[in-house]
Amino acid sequence: MTEIRYTVTPSPLGDIAIAVSDAGIRRLALPTQLALRGFPEDWQRDDSVAADAIQQLQEYFAGQRTTFDVALDMQGTDFQEEVWAALQTVPFGSICTYGDLAKQIGRPKAVRALGAANGRNPVPIIVPCHRVIGANGKLTGYFGGEGIKAELLALEGVE
């Protein structure tokens, strides 16, 4: 069994928790997510982990970073991993719709499934699921909460 360790770091959004395995970041929990569902009991707190991710998040929130360069260890289905890879192609300061992303991965009719996979993104911000909006332009479907989604988009200069 893989050992997972995590740390908690302050951010302008509130405390963010970052869980890592030996392969990379397994999960990033925004403040609202952490309050709703914490980490499994067998994951151990270790504040010596995720220093690179913490540094890069601090730079992102300070407006000094537009991309992340950290190892990821995201666990999902093949479809979820395909969606999460596509999310990483949406540039800083840009948005797209769920439909746009579904077309990008060659599954234009899979908008709802794509939305569900987007909602299960275990590493928000670093894998920018906040950059995907509804076809009507609404900030829909963000597990971290629409307020946090709006804050992240404003940070990136999206009106």
Q: What residues are annotated to the active site? A: 129
CA end-to-end distance (rounded Å), the chain: 44
Residues 6 or more apart from 6 whose CB is under 8 A from it? 17, 18, 19, 20, 27, 39, 43, 44, 45, 46, 49, 50
- The rounded distance, in Å, linking the Cα atoms of 56 and 24 is 14
| Number of Cβ within a 10 Å radius of residue 101 | 24
Place of tokens 């928790």: 17
121 neighbors 76 (Cβ within 8 angstroms): no
- The rounded distance, in Å, linking the Cα atoms of 6 and 151 is 24
> Which tokens sit at 78?
């093949």
